[in-house]
Structure 1
Amino acid sequence: MTLPKSVPALSRGSLPARTASRLGGRVWVDLVVAAAVLVLLYLGLRLGQGGTLRFSTARDAAVDTDPARLPYDALRSLLRMFTALAVSVVFTFGYAYAAARSRRLERVLIPALDILQSVPVLAFLSVAVSGFLALFPGSMLGLECAAVFAIFTSQAWNMTFAFYQALVSLPPELDELSRSFGFSRWTRFWKVELPSGMIGLVWNGMLGFGGGWFFLVASEAITVDGQRYALPGVGSYAGAAIAAGDLGRVGWAIATMVVLVVGVNFLFWRPLTAWAERFKNEQSEATEVQRSVVLDLLRRSRLPAALGRALRPVGRALNRAGRVFGTAERPPAVHPGRRRAGDVAFGLVSGGIVLWGLVDLGRYLADRTGLGVFGEPLLLGLATLARVVVLVAVATVVWVPIGVRIGFSPRLTRIAQPVVQVLAGFPANFVFPLVVWLLLRTGVSIDLGGILLMALGSQWYILFNAIAGAMAVPADLREAMDDLGVRGRQRWRRLIIPGIFPAYVTGGITASGGAWNASIVAEVVTFGSTTLTATGLGAYIARAAEHGDHPRLLAGVAVMSLYVVVLNRLLWRRLYRLAERRYSL
């Protein structure tokens, strides 16, 4: 029997059938996304229960290196890493925004950031462990907070520098647009400022996450004042295996870390980097874009859109709160005399606080060791400075061209990003035993080998920022250069160097600070009963922290901060100003 012509046939290609097919596909996607969210919440609750247990330092200092415990240890480490990342993002938004929007605060906050990134993780741990243990006496929560704080100090600084650079180099046209529409401060931040810095923020967040892996051993197996504290985690597991000289269990820790890094890249960072491409400042769409299976799955699901609708009242409330503080208009002109008076008053107050702290520190050191304690670290700092300069110079020559090539090619980015993420995110100190073996076999001094060890933990800042800078260069500019036949050296002078220069400065300053920090673990390398010690400031600080020698620890940290601040002021800060003045898109 045939249907009348007036009755539409429900064929496979008809509209209702296609609609049902799409809805059925979306239901399946929604179920997968909902199940993933429930699993994440369940794991968070189960792992969080271990953070509130009571502990005994004598009992918990011994780490169980049974390979069967590695899955649980890996998940505990992953929870700490993402908790620290969330804290780092909140810190980045507040700190970078305050520094970029207030010239007075900028004069204090940016030099303070220079100092903070130069302070070794061990110095932060020495303070954090005592403080958090006093805040949560006898609870694992105190140690967990100290470990998260230590990981935060290895993640936050480069993210803050990158977002600050994006804010100060914001195109003036966008500033005029936001003021002409009368945006509130919150709307301006959410619609203009955050998108302008999103690519650099994501790539530096990925790199900061890798920095957290690097210091995982130091943050989970802590020795302060001769007392050892240990938390369950892949870092403490690897530290115990290295101390015991058990290469088999070191291999298990390395394999676990590879799985963690690749898994986090596939499920988290790859979707983020693909999503961040929507914030490119370009007038024509690129012919090739990054893709992510996870991002495609989330885009097909209705749950993210439903969550966005549910959070709209929160956004409207923040927008109203932003209007209370005024719109995003240019600050009113201030009389020069009044401005100078305000700057002088602010400088006097800030300088008075710093001077009081320095006097009190000098009195403390004079009572215990005498001010001559600064002599040795000042000399040792010259050796570490030489290693840092060589490292940054070689890393620039090697990784900037590679980063530009990767950033300009979405296809190459898809291939190289997992490899780069594994290399950057893998804790280099896990392979230090192999380096010790190679140095002993080849007879190379640790004074030279220390440069390689420092590079394993800090060179990636330059590579990642070169990739992020190249990805941010508009595709239409690259296509215009192709049409004009601009190649080789001329292309580097006219497009590539100006395009990536702000991102490179961020990578250079964080690589320099990261190299100083990495010297703590790179200048003293131990495997089993073999210990190699280089001549340098990092080894000096590591010995002081191990023996609980607070005066020498403070002297070493102060000298390291001095070297970093002077280097930043003489070199990197001038390059920052050049990038802000001449090389902002």
Structure 2
Amino acid sequence: MQALPLDFRKLRVGYWLGAALLLLVAAVLAGLIHPLGGHRVYVPPSVWQLPLDAAWSLERMVSAYILSLAFSISVGMYIARNEKARKIILPILDILQSIPIVTFFPAALAVAVRLFGGGRLGFEIGAIILIFTSMAWNMAFSVYESVRMIPRDMLEAAESFGIRGLQKFVTLLLPACVPGLLYNSIVSWAAGWFALSACEILQVGNQSVPLPGLGSFLAEAAQSKHHAIELNLLGVAVLLGVILLLDFFLWRPLAHWAERFRNELTVSTMTRGGTGVAGWYQHGAIPRLIVRSVLLPLNKGVNWAVARVHGSAKRLVLPRVAPPAPLLRAYEFLQRMIGWLVLAAIVICGGYYCFAVVHHHLPALAWEIPAAIGSSFLRILLAYVLSLCWIIPVLLWARTRPRAMRLLSSLAQTLAGMPPIALTFLVVGLFVHHLQFGPRWGVELAGLVLLMNGVQWYVLFNMIGGISRIPGDLVEACGAMGLSRWMRFRRLLLPAILPSLFTGTLTAFGGGWNTLIFSESIAYQGHYYSVLGIGWLLDVASSGSNPPIASGVPLPAGQAKALLLAGVACLIVVIVILNRLVWKRLQAWAADRFRIEY
């Protein structure tokens, strides 16, 4: 495993990202300096708006991903190295990951609108926060797992050589996170695309606020009464084009670059050629000339600015004289006390508010919550089992075929990025209308397909990351000893991928709970289809413009808020029980039992 280079030039993508960042900032400023009147900031879908819609969606995705990356690295490493913080933060991350995204709508919109006003900027910030909630938790779990899987002797060697602080972060901790973080970034990016339609059509009271973007375009196209099929297919085609371009110009070069950070016991003879832009750069004279003559000066300027900022921050932050030990202990005690007091105040105030709302306004529909959670759990479990049935055989077949693995990753990233509103148009039309399964079973099958699309990619990309971390010399040793395929799977592959499988399972169930809001409550060409489940109940409770419930009368605002709080509270209890009793124990067992030691 190599140390992480500080020079952006060695990353081969730093100059691309630098140039893209400048263009992105200019585009955002150009779009936001023109305030748009009223709450409705979008018009019905038009073909000519698609390029601009794609640019706006990409801007929100990039902004949310940058926030998610900073959050995941800082929080993931902190909880991996601090056992006390781990006991508090890990359950919170489990809960946040598993709560459907619609439950974040009121808080995100309230914060954004109050801080930035009710204009375009406030809604843009709210949408970015919502996309962040669909990306960050999975990436934080990846960093946590990667740091926990660092061999103990490497940690001891770093301590014995006096490598601490920033040097340890740059040369040991961050490089160990690169492979897993990359593959989980891909699936988190896909999760952002998946949630885009919900994040770009915000609910402010009883009013819908669409923002310009591919998600809102697809949502408007699905409900359009004229040329719905053509508009929907065109929007899906543009979305697939954006996903494929990002795969070629961003994710493939990063995947090639991440191969240098694998743990190797010795120098392996297994080579991995460049793909996409990486191979294009290595073997092309014209791209190399463009990079060296145009983008390299920009890269040097960025490196110079980063070095100056880092030096100034180091002089400001690091004390010249170490503080006395009693003063340091008093500071740590005061810091802990303030943290516990703030946490206690938040819990007490939040609990009192929730109790007051639920006690006075809880509707009769709340008695459906236990049955709804049970039905939803069975659907997620079925989708998870069906996903494993194809993921494990396909990965075992593709692991020794680099071209097949690259094709699988590209195809998975493309399909994972399909937002539910696009898939809804296809699967509901297929199962309900064309195959004529009827509203009941047709919606169940369509919801199962949507649910699998929200579950399987977490497992797949985590297992791809686990396979990529298998040292090449161990694979060569198994081949030299003539082990059978079953023995290789039992002695090498299964122990190597189990930690990633359990991490993927944890995040997959979180993604499944999130996907329920789309798979159990489906709007299709003016018709509303639903099945009993917690996703349907939360959709009823969170949307003021939601179709009427069985009684024929929409829920009042107070009862809707009480139902939302009660449903989220019960869902949190179930998630915590499952995670603490099942998934976290399996994850800890696999991390300790199958750690690679030198």
Instruction: Letter of the 2:535 partner, please give it.
Output: G
CA contact (8 A) 1:526 1:532 kept: yes
Deviations 1:451-476 (A, max 9, x none): 22211122111111111110110111
Deviations 1:277-317 (A, max 9, x none): 00011122343314134235667545557357524455566
Could you say if the C-alpha distance between residues 58 and 109 of structure 1 is closer, same or farther in structure 2, counting changes exceeding 3 Å? closer
Could you say if the C-alpha distance between residues 404 and 147 of structure 1 is closer, same or farther in structure 2, counting changes exceeding 3 Å? farther
CA contact (8 A) 2:72 2:140 kept: yes
| Alignment equivalent of 1:226, drawn from 206, 209, 228 | 206
| Alignment equivalent of 1:560, drawn from 561, 571, 575 | 571
Could you say if the C-alpha distance between residues 456 and 166 of structure 1 is closer, same or farther in structure 2, counting changes exceeding 3 Å? same
Q: Is 1:167 aligned to residue 147 of structure 2?
A: yes
| Alignment equivalent of 1:210, drawn from 175, 190, 193 | 190
Deviation at 1:38, TM superposition (A): 4.8
SS at match of 1:241: helix
Aligned 1:390-409 pairs, distance under 5 A: 390-409=382-401
Could you say if the C-alpha distance between residues 354 and 42 of structure 1 is closer, same or farther in structure 2, counting changes exceeding 3 Å? closer
1:26 maps to what in 2?
A: none
CA contact (8 A) 2:243 2:414 kept: yes
Deviations 1:10-58 (A, max 9, x none): xxxxxxxxxxxxxxxxxxxx9x997996576335413432134323345
2:427 maps to what in 1?
A: 435
| Alignment equivalent of 1:361, drawn from 354, 364, 367 | 354
Aligned 1:414-563 pairs, distance under 5 A: 414-440=406-432, 441-443=436-438, 444-547=441-544, 549-563=560-574
CA contact (8 A) 2:462 2:500 kept: yes
* Separation (CA, whole Å) in 2 of partners of 1:390 and 1:483: 40
Deviations 1:469-503 (A, max 9, x none): 10110111111111112223222221011111111
Could you say if the C-alpha distance between residues 70 and 398 of structure 1 is closer, same or farther in structure 2, counting changes exceeding 3 Å? same
Could you say if the C-alpha distance between residues 51 and 405 of structure 1 is closer, same or farther in structure 2, counting changes exceeding 3 Å? farther
CA contact (8 A) 1:519 1:539 kept: yes
Instruction: Letter of the 2:268 partner, please give it.
Output: E
Size of the aligned set, in residue pairs, is 542
CA contact (8 A) 1:158 1:506 kept: no
Deviation at 1:343, TM superposition (A): 11
| Alignment equivalent of 1:50, drawn from 31, 52, 63 | 31
* Separation (CA, whole Å) in 2 of partners of 1:208 and 1:553: 26
| Alignment equivalent of 1:570, drawn from 567, 577, 581 | 581
Deviation at 1:400, TM superposition (A): 2.6
Deviation at 1:240, TM superposition (A): 0.6
Deviation at 1:505, TM superposition (A): 1.4
Structure 2: 5+ residue stretches without partners: 1-11, 283-287, 323-334, 545-556
1:375 maps to what in 2?
A: 367
* Separation (CA, whole Å) in 1 of partners of 2:321 and 2:263: 27
* Separation (CA, whole Å) in 2 of partners of 1:464 and 1:529: 36
* Separation (CA, whole Å) in 2 of partners of 1:395 and 1:211: 17
Shifted more, 93-102 versus 404-413: the winner is 404-413
| Alignment equivalent of 1:189, drawn from 158, 166, 169 | 169
SS at match of 1:535: coil
1:12 maps to what in 2?
A: none
Q: Is 1:41 aligned to residue 22 of structure 2?
A: yes
2:256 maps to what in 1?
A: 274
| Alignment equivalent of 2:229, drawn from 247, 251, 256 | 247
Q: Is 1:295 aligned to residue 278 of structure 2?
A: yes
Give the superposed CA RMSD: 3.1
Instruction: Letter of the 2:29 partner, please give it.
Output: G
- Tell me the TM-score normalized by structure 1: 0.85
| Alignment equivalent of 1:142, drawn from 116, 122, 128 | 122
SS at match of 2:209: strand
CA contact (8 A) 1:373 1:555 kept: no
Could you say if the C-alpha distance between residues 309 and 230 of structure 1 is closer, same or farther in structure 2, counting changes exceeding 3 Å? closer
Could you say if the C-alpha distance between residues 486 and 355 of structure 1 is closer, same or farther in structure 2, counting changes exceeding 3 Å? farther
Deviation at 1:90, TM superposition (A): 0.4
* Separation (CA, whole Å) in 1 of partners of 2:268 and 2:381: 40
Instruction: Letter of the 1:187 partner, please give it.
Output: Q
2:71 maps to what in 1?
A: 91
* Separation (CA, whole Å) in 1 of partners of 2:340 and 2:224: 53
Could you say if the C-alpha distance between residues 350 and 36 of structure 1 is closer, same or farther in structure 2, counting changes exceeding 3 Å? closer
Deviations 1:181-206 (A, max 9, x none): 21231111111011111100000001
Identity %: 31
CA contact (8 A) 1:104 1:346 kept: no
* Separation (CA, whole Å) in 2 of partners of 1:316 and 1:101: 26
* Separation (CA, whole Å) in 2 of partners of 1:78 and 1:309: 26
Structure 1: 5+ residue stretches without partners: 1-29, 328-341
Deviations 1:186-235 (A, max 9, x none): 11111101111110000000100000000111000112421211111111
CA contact (8 A) 2:263 2:469 kept: yes
* Separation (CA, whole Å) in 2 of partners of 1:319 and 1:392: 48
CA contact (8 A) 2:24 2:59 kept: no
CA contact (8 A) 1:505 1:572 kept: yes
- Tell me the TM-score normalized by structure 2: 0.84
* Separation (CA, whole Å) in 1 of partners of 2:238 and 2:77: 38
CA contact (8 A) 1:184 1:326 kept: no
CA contact (8 A) 1:88 1:155 kept: yes
* Separation (CA, whole Å) in 2 of partners of 1:256 and 1:114: 34
SS at match of 2:141: helix
Shifted more, 45-54 versus 507-516: the winner is 45-54
Shifted more, 355-364 versus 203-212: the winner is 355-364
Instruction: Letter of the 2:239 partner, please give it.
Output: M
